[in-house]
Structure 1
Amino acid sequence: MIAPTFLQILGLSALLLSTSAFPATNSNEIYYLANCSKCDITDDNCPYYRSLMAYYLDASKSENGQLPTATSEATGLLTWEGNTILGSFTGAKDPDFSATIDQDALNSQFYNIVGSGKTESHNFTCYKDSDRLLYRKGPDYCYSIYWCQWVGQG
């Protein structure tokens, strides 16, 4: 076995220090494109009546009905598909998020890539969700139609 030289060890130490000296960007943040109803959508008489974007600083905090870190709410029901929608968020690391969802996204299988999103500092990949209940607040039941997650650098 060949022993590493002092310079190789020094170089490796510098690399380790340079990567750990700067905190990693939170790759756990996630945006949901959601539609809300005033009751459980499994009831046929319970249509969606408005749309919103929900931002979670930590995606794991969006799995069990928790309220989002911030929301950007529309005045009515949006058509996500075939459009670019801009949301503004108070409390998000980047206050503006835009999502572009493919025209035929409603026909995609759950969890397939259906579009993209963007903040000032990151690009996001958007996926088709299963219309699962994201959270309840007051009279609203908000269901995830799509989610957008940062997956890598940029």
Structure 2
Amino acid sequence: MSNYLYLPGVAGNYASAPDTAALSITGDIDIQARVALDDWTPAQETAIVSKYIATNDHRSYMFVVRSGSTGLLRFYWSEDGVALLAVTSSVAPTVSDGDYLWIRVILDVDDGPIGQGRGIFYTGGSGVSPTWVQLGDTAGGGSVPTFIFDGLHPVEVGAYANG
């Protein structure tokens, strides 16, 4: 694959797109990324994609690899720009440090066990085209139904809150 975005893990190294109507997702969301992390159990949460900044209460969502020895995937979102909700994968992806892996999260805002949001995590292998397999159990969270706050912050790849 010759087209990619290299982000060396240095503060300020990320890509962003300004807030637009097309990026103001308040319902179901599906985020997919082919990622190679130097450390799949990072010391700090590693942001994959976000539309999130705490300043002026513009938290919308953030897809991360959890910190510590877990390496679990987590999706945060807010219904009001302030309070955070989260779903976390029940198992970590099986991947070696430095290797590529497709990862994915789907937040279905009104299809959980009692009508609340549900998060489903997937892995898709390391090749150019993913073959999706659910990662662990489906996770429920949020109100009945939930939604994503329409914040004004840009969408960022490889960072959150301006890198």
TM-score by length of 1: 0.29
Greater length-normalized contact order (CA 8 Å, ≥ 6 residues apart): 2
Higher helix share: 1
Tell me which structure has the larger Cα radius of gyration. Answer: 1
